[in-house]
Structure 1
């Protein structure tokens, strides 16, 4: 009950959700630098899958070790729970990132960021049909629209006005976003009867293991382990451990919609951190406007109406 009181507090939810999105946003420049450090070429999808697999295997193991050290029984799970955890791992990690990495390789970064942000819409819409206490209303719809406009603005570029649509590019990214939304709702279901850290640890480990196996079978390899590249891989793993654990914890005690809306912050943080670590230009009016719109969107979705019970 104590945990529930803490993690349903709106200020706590906002702080934790924003922190998760900051971590996920930092993954964009970290992954790009990782490709350079590990000498993974742009078209080498199998090696990218192996790289992602290593990241999630480490992330899962870290969580499971922490869970075991804190007294949680990570091996005392039923056959049904094992199957559920496997489904979650394959769905939320393996399937999502296969579509994600292939999709990113077949579209521009601008369009990729926009399409990936549709996970917020899918989460809110799915919650509307699954949960009786998480329905859409005009205010939430307007909040989503305003937030999405902000995401579009921060990624808008006059010299990249390409409205072409490729199924293995933009289409795959939309599928990845949908899978992420479904996985989050499935994780919420599992955490009702299982510990959040155990659920997250196993899902990351199983999904990462599958990514690694698939990547290796397709001919992917990851070499060039140095001090810097290894530290970067460890950082990516730790950010996944922290972000997914905290996110699933929020979903355990809260409605899906008000938590998922914070996904709009990921491309904002990704842009800011890319400017810092990849020397990209960010000091433009569009970025300030975009951040303002995203904040307004978040406020609208989370603001309760007086008549709501």
Structure 2
């Protein structure tokens, strides 16, 4: 297979493109059920979808140590249960533009935690500049679609999404630092299955979800979301486990998610079209990624 198609940059872009597609499907699903319950079912199915694609599954499963299972449970809690529980809860308290900006700040939190928790992933002025520039681009795109209205719930929502960013970044660091002996597909599959079950169990007393049969569009939306998560998370965990890949650098690719999201909206939604503010934000993000990749390649050659 062409090495370019397996390059870290290409696969990171593919994962981010997949993550940019679910917003319409999430809106459809939430018309019929509650957020935590819907997320739990989604990730449980995602984990099951990966199982048939794990080569030598039984042998790999038998080879897992008790330490490996502890790490899988830890990743399940951080990357599925806590991450998406906090995300769905926090976003409910905030205007869409502000929520998008806070989620867009995740690469900064990833860089800070990687700096604190990993010896080989330290902050540099170049990296900080590129990340701040990328965040500026996300802010420009978000403010171009601003629906900001001051409410008393905003401080709570901001706090929850900041915690969400910390939890997600910590999960990325743990996957990159501690799970080298666990096959990426095993890690992705079982962390989503266990994390999904925990979300479903939490949703029962908190949300009291409706367990009736829903219209077909709910199941189409759920199926698409499950496939997206299975593919994107498997790719992402595989990239985090690659030798030489740094958590901080990899997470900067997430800045392109709002670019893909805006482009998909322009293509699909009749009332959405390109505007100057969004394009300006996209150009700023593109420049930040080009700058970071240029300096990374220059550093490697030295």
Q: Please, what TM-score do these two structures have when normalized by structure 2?
A: 0.89
**2:117·2:173 contact (CA, 8 Å) conserved in 1?**
no
Structure 2 partner of 1:144: 131
**1:124·1:136 contact (CA, 8 Å) conserved in 2?**
yes
Structure 1 partner of 2:293: 302
Structure 2 partner of 1:43: none
Q: Any unmatched runs of 5+ in structure 1?
A: 41-46
Q: 1:276 to 1:215 in 2, by over 3 A?
A: farther
Q: 1:112 to 1:259 in 2, by over 3 A?
A: same
Q: C-alpha separation between the residues in 2 aligned to 1:155 and 1:12?
A: 30
Q: C-alpha separation between the residues in 2 aligned to 1:199 and 1:190?
A: 12
Structure 1 partner of 2:21: 26
Q: C-alpha separation between the residues in 2 aligned to 1:268 and 1:180?
A: 21
Structure 2 partner of 1:118: 105
**1:89·1:207 contact (CA, 8 Å) conserved in 2?**
yes
Q: Deviations over 1:157-211 (max 9, x none)?
A: 4864556673431211111111111111111234311101001111111111000
Please report the RMSD computed on the Cα atoms of aligned residues, expressed in angstroms: 2.5
Q: Any unmatched runs of 5+ in structure 2?
A: none
**1:60·1:205 contact (CA, 8 Å) conserved in 2?**
yes
Q: Deviations over 1:63-88 (max 9, x none)?
A: 12321566752354222221221111
Q: C-alpha separation between the residues in 2 aligned to 1:233 and 1:71?
A: 28
Q: 1:284 to 1:174 in 2, by over 3 A?
A: same
**2:262 matched to 1:271?**
yes
* More off after superposition, 149-158 vs 165-174: 165-174
**2:97·2:148 contact (CA, 8 Å) conserved in 1?**
no
Q: 1:86 to 1:139 in 2, by over 3 A?
A: same
* More off after superposition, 11-20 vs 144-153: 11-20
- Of 190, 195, 214 in structure 2, the residue corresponding to residue 225 of structure 1 is 214
The number of residue pairs the alignment matches comes to 296
**1:67·1:74 contact (CA, 8 Å) conserved in 2?**
no
Q: Please, what TM-score do these two structures have when normalized by structure 1?
A: 0.87
SS in 2 for 1:300: helix
SS in 2 for 1:63: helix
Structure 1 partner of 2:204: 216
Structure 1 partner of 2:184: 196
Q: C-alpha separation between the residues in 1 aligned to 2:185 and 2:246?
A: 19
1:1-309 to structure 2, matched below 5 A, reads: 12-36=7-31, 39-40=32-33, 47-67=34-54, 73-157=60-144, 160-162=147-149, 166-218=154-206, 219-253=208-242, 254-304=245-295, 306=298, 309=302
Q: C-alpha separation between the residues in 1 aligned to 2:37 and 2:76?
A: 16
Q: C-alpha separation between the residues in 2 aligned to 1:163 and 1:207?
A: 34
Q: C-alpha separation between the residues in 2 aligned to 1:200 and 1:302?
A: 27
Deviation (angstroms), 1:229: 2.2
Q: C-alpha separation between the residues in 2 aligned to 1:158 and 1:28?
A: 15
Deviation (angstroms), 1:227: 3.4
